[in-house]
Amino acid sequence: MKPIHKILLHTDGSITKILEAITGKNVEVETVKQEIIKADKKIAEILKIKENEDVNYRIVNLKVNDDVLVHAISYTPLIRLEKDFKDDLMKADIPIGKIMRKYKIEARREINWTKTEKADEMAEIFGIEKGDLLLIRNYNIIHKGEILINITEYFPAKKFE
């Protein structure tokens, strides 16, 4: 594994800022899906909320020049969001880290797990071959001692070599 792969998997900082530093370009967010769902037992346990609470379920691609560098899936318990933050999260193709900076939200990222696997159906998202290596990590953004957002990110290793 290359050093940049380890950085992507283990950083507790902004992935958007790392991508912008690597590419020298602005990162664009393409929202693939966003909807309010009711927390099932698994999501409630992950977020430490009650079952059936409203959760923002969001799937995005982080892109540079239409090249998908990250595919991310996030769960955000709406009960923990302030109105303006929630409005930006719901309507805008803005990276979560930038929304947090806009509202001066002090938070930390806690990595839950990392792994690698061979791309299967995700190969098409990244324009890579099936079997190419994916770097995957899951982490929580913690604010005021509670999980604000749970995020799983997928990176195509070959685009960071």
Q: Which residues pair with 127 in a beta bridge?
A: none
pLDDT value, residue 93: 76
Query: What would the mean pLDDT of 35-48 be, rounded to a whole number?
Result: 97
> How many separate domains does the chain show?
1
pLDDT surpasses 90 at 100 = no
Query: What DSSP element (H or E) covers 53?
Result: none
Taking the model in full, what pTM does it have? Answer: 0.92
Where residue 7 sits, what CATH number does that domain have? 3.40.1410.10
Containing domain of residue 57, as a range? 3-160
Say which residues have a Cβ less than 8 Å from residue 39's Cβ, sequence separation at least 6.
47, 49, 50, 51, 52, 53, 54, 55, 75, 77
Structure tokens at 113: 């797990």
Phi and psi for 67 in degrees, rounded to 5? -100, 115
**Among residues of the chain, what percentage have pLDDT more than 70?**
99
